[in-house]
Chain A
Amino acid sequence: MRGYRTILVERVDLGQGTTGRFHGLLHSGGRYVISDERSATECAEESAIVKRIAAEAVEDTGGLFVTTPADDPGYADRFLAACLKTGVPVQEIPAAEALRREPRLNPGISRAFEVQDGAVDAWKLLWGNARSAQEHGAAILSYHWVTEVIREGDRVAGVIARDNRAGEMVRIEAAFVINAGGVWAGEIADMADCPGVTVVPGKGIMIAMNHRLVRTVVNRCEHPGDGDILVPIRTVCVIGTTDVKADSPDDYSIGRDEVQQMLDAGEVIVPGFRQARALHAWTGARPLFKDERAGEGGEDTRHMSRGLALVDHLRRDGVSGFLTITGGKLTTYRLMAETVVDAMVEQMGDSRPCTTATEALPGSEDGRHYWLGSRLAAQEEAMADDQLVCECELMPRRKLVEAARRRPGMTLDDVRRALRLGMGPCQGGFCTYRATGILHGLGDAETERADELLLTFLQHRWLGLEPILYGDQMRQACLDDWIFQGTLDVEHLPVTVPT
């Protein structure tokens, strides 16, 4: 937007990093009013902006903080005072009123506070931003894995990336490189020979439940802990999350004990939670920034941990043309971008003001928020002349065909991130075969690749299913096995499945 020619380089697909693995909450700030005042204020301000500029990606669900019988009753008053202090809008409502709005909530709640939480669809947000960037002239290179940062003396002059689909190396020269590698930002800083930027992966698991058990975001009114937020987003609600230090940002393992912990936590918010159907589990890694050179004069290490972290490599390492932005929250993504680009503009000696807070993203110009019934309403119109490919998530064939035209060579995971293929109760049980057949029929995937797409998608869905396989989802998994192995015999397709 500020008129620079920009290239975005992404190693897999947009949303394959932490942004596509988060909890879905557009924070009102309430969660941080006591532990991290600065983050609280940032969230309060930024969430209001995001609701405006990215309306299409946000559902204005509102939020509640409730004191359950398991919570410290004293926290509520401190919470209220801190909200006022940090500028997080809040209003106490009678517990009975909260129960009327959310009948499944633990009937033992003693206090309830209304806040301005929302739910944000990461993929819609990403694609909205991407389209906006493209309209302003940016290029987006997905499946380009940066392997090297080009240094010319004290200056960073670009990157070298491996194009993972074409299988070739690409050299990109640039006047300036911004490292927004999230939890991988340390690795990229290392490539630029700026060691010591340590981003600790704070791993968290989340579980999507089959339908909305609550309509508003429900937080426990307590010091931030594990599994204390339930977020209604799209057709599901998501319980989360844990926070454990992981050895690697690419560690996606999900422990059975963590699942049990989430289910117990769910019971505290909504009694009977364990009887409800879990759909899918996943993990993400929070970028928690820690500068090994703290104390050596690097002043950027001040606002660390949960807050956003700008690392000025010119001051810190004497390297120009290179900035790292990490830490932060999804809610403050825009502020992070503004911060880092401001720093870049300053370093380049320009003065171009930021307009991201006022310019709505493509698709959000009318300011209308997402609403739950939208796909149902669209399908009602399309019913006569289109086929439903993913029935659970109401994804029509036309959408898939259009997407394949726009972006040839998609994997089914790409389709899922763009269109929610296979995200519903059957987890691809019915739509995987359909989507494969359609992409093959269009000529987008030749036969061997089509077989691979099918088996890979099933395998990837399985990774998020296996840890939460119980109750209704176990029945589903067995039915899906009957279909794919029993009826179709896909395990004997003439390809080997990549791991």
Chain B
Amino acid sequence: MRRAVVIGAGLAGLVAGVRLAEGGMRVTMVAKGVGSLTLSPGVIDVLGYAPGRVDSPREALGAFVAERPDHPYARIGADALEEALAWFTDRVPQMRYRGDGPRNLLLPTAVGVPRPTALAPASMAGADLRGGGRFVVVGLSGLKDFFPRLLADNLARADLPSGAMVGARHAEITASPRPGRADVAGQVYARALDDPAFRGEFAAALRGLAEPGETILLPAVLGMARAGEVFDELQERVGAPIAEVPTVPPSVAGMRLNTELTGAFARAGGRVVLGVEAVGATGSDGRISEVLVRDAARTRALPADAVVLATGGFSAGGIALDSYGGLHEVVLDLPVAGPPAGVAPLSERHLDHQPLMASGVAVDGMLRPVGPGGEPVWDNLHAAGTIVAGAEPWREKSGEGIAIAGGFRAAGAILEET
């Protein structure tokens, strides 16, 4: 059996891992910790702004990559992206992803901005703002990271496609899994809602809040392991449509996706080793033969026929910036593509384009990290996710698309090799 080592347990690593394991490889995933997936809103962004709001990623992508030849999407290609998304949604049926064909949905964020995204769990998709609608935003008194009034008031001022009329008001309920406690985290609500007893109490508190024709917007804490069941039952009991709005971390929706995807990986036969750091690799003739990891007692060599590097960008620690301004790829010391010469790395205006933040490893069409001359550093090393240079995914709203398509493509390239 051929062996693959996947470094990193975020979205890109998990997608690559599942596909490799399904493809018959013996896959070991090593990760320093849990991936950023658990922090993410749980929607699947493909391309939201370019820089104007994107209505259809499929239509916009051609021009987008033409202008940005170094963007990860330019390497992956639009076809692989579509194939990857279809493959992906099949792997996580419990998330019940919904979209509108090639077009973006427009879902409210927790501050009430209409945000474009390609796919969203069914529990969120009901808040699509493109056709307007009437909403009652409901806060939970114990949850400090959701402000129904701010959401509702901003929604009423939101920039929407012409003709879409939005009405929004706000309310609050006090039902709490930890009565008497002022500060209750999202995951505590979510786990408690898995339990039918609290679910009943919660539904009772919501009943009668919505007027006919209104959709209830709630923070995305409606269930953890049994989210689907919780959502369906609440809607039925409350008698009004409900939609979840993703929260800032801790993000329950992100945790659900993480759980389902790690489950898919385990079912496909993959092994995860969590809490260890990959510290290097050995190999010869342009191929890595072993990945070195540091466990509790020593540095261990994991034999590998192929390696996927999915350690994330700066925030996850895949790329590091030292105090002298030097850029480093942390595990394998690969060359890092930073801002082009002559371009100021950072802007004084916080929300401007920050070229430094798009740093990462440059890759070829098979997503192999390349040196300055464009030649692969290792023939059997592929990179996927935020570690790949050329994007500011949080601005473009392209993070999940890049990770899923990248992980899928990297795995495909490895499987094709046999």
Task: Give the interface of A toward B (CB within 8 A).
Answer: 256, 260, 263, 274-275, 278, 383-389, 397, 430, 433-434, 436-438, 440-441, 447-448, 450-451, 454-455, 458-459, 461-463, 466, 469-471, 474-479, 481-483, 485-494, 497, 499
B251 contacts across to A, CB distance below 8 A: 487
Is B397 in contact with A471, judged by CB distance below 8 angstroms?
no
> Taking CB as reference atom, which chain A residue is nearest B326?
A470
Interface centre among A274, A466, A489 (most CB of B within 10 A): A489
> Taking CB as reference atom, which chain A residue is nearest B151?
A437
Interface string of B138-164 (1 = CB under 8 A from A): 000000111101100110011100000
Give, as a whole number of angstroms, the nearest-CB distance from B55 to chain A.
Answer: 15
Complex Cα spacing A485 to B109, Å: 10
B322 sits at the interface (CB 8 A): yes
Complex Cα spacing A485 to B324, Å: 27
Q: Which of B36, B159, B323 lies in contact with A263, CB distance below 8 A? A: B323
Interface string of B102-124 (1 = CB under 8 A from A): 00000001110111000000000
B350 contacts across to A, CB distance below 8 A: 458-459, 461-462
Complex Cα spacing A441 to B115, Å: 23
B340 sits at the interface (CB 8 A): no
Is B154 in contact with A487, judged by CB distance below 8 angstroms?
no
Complex Cα spacing A490 to B350, Å: 12
Q: What are 5 A-B interface contacts by the 8 Å CB criterion?
A: A388-B183, A438-B147, A448-B157, A466-B348, A486-B399
Nearest 3 A/B pairs, CB to CB: A437-B147, A462-B350, A486-B394
B158 contacts across to A, CB distance below 8 A: 494
Q: Which of B246, B348, B357 lies in contact with A478, CB distance below 8 A? A: B357
A274 and B323 contact, Cβ closer than 8 Å, known pairs A481-B394, A482-B36, A489-B115: yes
Complex Cα spacing A77 to B393, Å: 59
A278 contacts across to B, CB distance below 8 A: 323
Is B351 in contact with A455, judged by CB distance below 8 angstroms?
yes
Q: Which of B315, B323, B349 lies in contact with A479, CB distance below 8 A? A: B315
- Number of residues of chain B lying within 8 A (CB) of chain A: 55
A493 and B144 contact, Cβ closer than 8 Å, known pairs A274-B323, A459-B350: no
Is A482 in contact with B109, judged by CB distance below 8 angstroms?
no
Q: Which of B110, B246, B324, B357 lies in contact with A481, CB distance below 8 A? A: B357
Give, as a whole number of angstroms, the nearest-CB distance from A199 to chain B.
Answer: 27
B101 sits at the interface (CB 8 A): no
Give, as a whole number of angstroms, the nearest-CB distance from A305 to chain B.
Answer: 33
B40 sits at the interface (CB 8 A): yes
Is B395 in contact with A475, judged by CB distance below 8 angstroms?
no
Give, as a whole number of angstroms, the nearest-CB distance from B247 to chain A.
Answer: 8
Is A487 in contact with B41, judged by CB distance below 8 angstroms?
yes
> Taking CB as reference atom, which chain B residue is nearest A474?
B321
B246 contacts across to A, CB distance below 8 A: 487
B325 sits at the interface (CB 8 A): yes
Complex interface residues of chain B between 303 and 317 (CB less than 8 A to chain A): 313-317
B313 contacts across to A, CB distance below 8 A: 478
A476 contacts across to B, CB distance below 8 A: 315
Give, as a whole number of angstroms, the nearest-CB distance from B171 to chain A.
Answer: 12
Is A488 in contact with B182, judged by CB distance below 8 angstroms?
no
Give, as a whole number of angstroms, the nearest-CB distance from B255 to chain A.
Answer: 14
B266 sits at the interface (CB 8 A): no
A488 and B317 contact, Cβ closer than 8 Å, known pairs A384-B180, A447-B150, A494-B154: no
A386 contacts across to B, CB distance below 8 A: 182-183
Complex Cα spacing A493 to B111, Å: 8
A486 contacts across to B, CB distance below 8 A: 40-41, 393-394, 397, 399
B248 contacts across to A, CB distance below 8 A: 430, 433, 483, 487-488
